[in-house]
Amino acid sequence: MKSLGKYLLFISSLFKNRESFKTYVKLTFEECMLVGINSIVLVGLVSLFIGAVSTLQTAFNLVNPLIPDSVVGLVVRDLTILELAPTITAIIFAGKVGSSIAGNLGTMRITEQIDALEVMGINSASYLVLPKIVGTLIMYPLLVILAGVLAISGGFLAAKFGGVVSTADYFTGLKMDFNQFTVTFALIKSVVFGFLVSSISSYMGFFTKGGALEVGQASTRAVTVSCIAILFSDFILAQLLLVR
């Protein structure tokens, strides 16, 4: 509970004694490049292969001849939108971006760069962390959309070249009983997950104490706690928004 209270106070401190809007625009743009653009290749590759594997495994488990092959496309579509694109991408995002954020801020802390900012009268938490969070909130939903498109595309490639289901049946399944709210739900999850990863990783890095060893430990804790928070919030959001 003490750590949770410290985390909430840390979040509230981001909105005190802020710098000029122009300063945050520049810093946020830089963070968007670091957080989003540099993650496209990894997220794209993982999503493409996850979609392909999902198609193959779903087709493998359809042993009942009464079940139409088009169900493969339906399962891959719903699985991708509801879980694979937002949640699995968030775990990857936490490992790549979350550890980087914690490591960078931890290094700045132990080299006294953060202390130097505070001596100059700058709210170091707001100056360093707020652009990271805003940049993540902008870019992560875009990464989730990209992941969803590529995962479904990977499923199509597996259907076409794997021969497990015809492409016509796959597309029929994609259009079958589509619920538009699943897309909204995925985007809501992406915003929540992006905030959790960026804020928790920043918190872990910002309060690092010691030396290089502690910076590594802070990065590890950031990834671990972020993953736990992602899975817990995933359950809560599903319970609140999907269960009727």
> What DSSP string runs through 11-61?
HHHTTSS---HHHHHHHHHHHHHHHTGGGHHHHHHHHHHHHHHHHHHHHHH
Please write the tens of the pLDDT for every residue from 44-71. 999 999 999 998 888 888 767 777 878 8
In the chain, what are the domain boundaries?
19-239
pLDDT of 88-98, one tens digit each?
999 999 998 99
Task: Tell me how far the alpha carbon of residue 124 is from its chain's centroid.
Answer: 25
Greatest mean pLDDT among 1-5, 19-23, 220-224 lies in: 220-224
> Mean pLDDT throughout 101-126?
87
Q: What is the pTM of this model?
A: 0.90
pLDDT band at 244, cuts 50/70/90? Answer: low
For residues 18 and 130, the answer to whether their CB atoms sit within 8 Å is yes
Closest CA to 228 of 11, 4, 54, 2: 4
CA dist., res. 84 & res. 147, Å (int): 8
Tell me the mean pLDDT in the region 190-195: 94
* pLDDT score at 236: 92
